[in-house]
Chains A and B, each alone.
Chain A
């Protein structure tokens, strides 16, 4: 269901837990679907002994994709016009992530009502793992 301009105001928030206790299997699924087979995400032996990390960690794009799930649940299907993020901290197996969209602006461009959103995903310790923005078409 699409959002309506008359129901929104700056500061409104939508929040969802997008992954609970991230599994290594989920990392394998994302590797297979996306085609990013970087061993940093599935190969603990390489990641510990060669790359020097505590173990495998999530693809940035998996975290962005999970964040996008929250966005499409909020703004509706096919409504996004822009979505961008910076990856600020790594995401590890066992993490539980919460994604939040906050309304920053409502505007009309070429007759189309739009909502601008600030986007953030945090882990169970409250650290931000992804921060960014999105814009979506809304009804007016």
Chain B
């Protein structure tokens, strides 16, 4: 993730995000309903902040022009040998809401590294954890959302029971 990403919050994106969670709550799509509700407008679902990756020009988990993609095409991976490892998994995610996001917000996300640690696991070998802290400020410079993510790189794929 880039250190700073501009994220416009739009109603259609909120609607699609809520649909992807099969969340039919009209607060995410019906402006008339939302205007009469306690929030006064459409708001974003609680985990919407992670969609900031849509707006990161360098996001590594989106195919981009001129770069080889590691997913399958003609072959199981688009990268040259050696094939990549299992890559990272998501270990933890934390949100602190200073206010809820709404359409029209022009957010600036800044990220900074947090802690790193290691742990031995029976099912996936040595685990390497990396924490990142993301702060979202709105168009008025107010901190509206703090997000903290922890990723883990496993030594081998997680064994299944």
Contact = CB atoms under 8 A, between A and B. Distances in A.
Contact of A2 (B20, B38, B83, B91): B38
Interface string A56-71: 0001111011101101
Contacts of B122: none
Interface string B49-91: 0111111100101110000001110001100000110110111
B96 interface: yes
Contact of A51 (B20, B37, B56, B87): B87
A37 B22 CA distance: 19
Interface stretch (A6-14, A75-83, A110-118): A75-83
A79 to B, nearest CB: 8
B47 A46 contact: no
Task: Determine which residue in A26, A46, A82, A83 has the highest number of CB atoms from chain B within 10 A of its CB, and name it.
Answer: A46
A86 B47 contact: no
A85 interface: yes
Given A34-B50, A43-B71, A64-B47, A50 B20 contact: no
B157 A32 contact: no
Contacts of A108: none
B27 A77 contact: yes
Nearest to B61: A38
B158 A90 contact: yes
Interface in B88-140: 89-97, 100
A140 interface: no
Contacts of A19: 22
Nearest to A39: B71
A130 B134 CA distance: 21
A38 B20 contact: no
B11 interface: no
B11 to A, nearest CB: 13
Interface of A: 2, 18-19, 26, 29-30, 32-40, 42-43, 45-46, 48-54, 59-62, 64-66, 68-69, 71-73, 76-78, 80-87, 90
Interface of B: 13, 16-17, 19-23, 25, 27, 37-39, 43, 45-47, 50-56, 59, 61-63, 70-72, 76-77, 83-84, 86-87, 89-97, 100, 148, 156-158, 160
